[in-house]
Amino acid sequence: MADTPGTRDQLIRATREAIRDVGMPATTAREIVGRASANLASIPYHFGTKDALVAEALVAEAHELVAPVLTLLAGDRPAAERAAEAVAMLNELFEASRPQVPVYLAALAAAPHTPGVRRGLGSLWVELRTRLADDIAGQVDEGRLPQWVSPSAMAAAILSLVNGVIVASVIDPDGPDHREIGAQFLALLLAAGVAGPGGGSGAGTVRAAGPGSPDGSVER
């Protein structure tokens, strides 16, 4: 069939835009090719099926969403600095990427029934969890976090919290925002560092946004 070199990328971009704008049920083959200025035959030519195209588009959206955090965590700066910047970056990403949330949620919903999406999200999540766990382990070694913290489990807990906040932003938009939730989680972690298994909370003073002092911070 006659084709242009950029058609494949245009189809992926059009699919992401369609899911974002009209939702998964309305993202038909005709909707996609109309947005991509392509013909219907281009989907089976490049992807085999529309489902395969949608799977690739969903994974691409998730990768784009977390790519800045992965780049940061792969850097060679001290773990504590990377972690602090990652928190700020996640806040900025959440604000800037609100239009992408429906596509990301669609990817999560598709994962149990779509092997391509499940593999793509799974490898992305393992990479993110592993890098985050490495930073947490560095902070445990430096005494910034208590010894009872399990880096892999804590990284998984943080990522689970992120997913939960994303879901809540859609189904409970008038509830506490992501900054409030993050502050409460950090305050809980700091409190657990004092009273949790294994004793001490680590050296120094840690300040996090949240209730407890005149400027809205928690001090430990």
Q: Kindly state the average pLDDT of the residues 62-83.
A: 77
Domain shared by 114 and 11, yes or no = no
| pLDDT, averaged across the chain | 79
Q: Is the pLDDT of residue 4 over 70?
A: no
Residue length, the chain? 220
Helix or strand or coil: residue 217?
A: strand
What are the start-end ranges of the E strands in the chain?
Answer: 207-209, 217-219
Range with the lowest mean pLDDT among 55-64, 84-93, 163-172? Answer: 84-93
Q: Is the pLDDT of residue 220 over 80?
A: no
Domain shared by 6 and 92, yes or no = no
Domain shared by 8 and 112, yes or no = no
Domain shared by 144 and 66, yes or no = yes
Report the run of H or E that residue 28 belongs to, with start and end: none
Domain shared by 13 and 121, yes or no = no
Domain shared by 125 and 154, yes or no = yes
Q: Is the pLDDT of residue 144 over 50?
A: yes
Domain shared by 19 and 102, yes or no = no
Report the run of H or E that residue 209 belongs to, with start and end: strand 207-209
Q: Is the pLDDT of residue 207 over 70?
A: no
- CA gap 201, 148 in Å, rounded: 10
Domain shared by 19 and 85, yes or no = no
Answering whether pTM is above 0.75, one says: no
pLDDT value for 214: 37
Residue 85 corresponds to which tokens in the numbers above?
A: 């910047």
pLDDT tens per residue, range 84-126: 677 667 666 667 777 788 888 888 888 998 898 999 889 988 9
Domain shared by 24 and 62, yes or no = no
- CA gap 213, 194 in Å, rounded: 18
Domain that holds residue 5: 1-48
Residue 185 banded pLDDT, cuts 50, 70, 90: confident
Domain shared by 34 and 132, yes or no = no
Residue 157 one-letter amino acid: A
Torsion (CA) 205, 211, 217, 220 in degrees, nearest 10: 0
How many domains would you assign to the chain? 2
CATH number at residue 199: 1.10.357.10
Backbone dihedral angles phi then psi of residue 207, each to the nearest 5 degrees: -115, 135
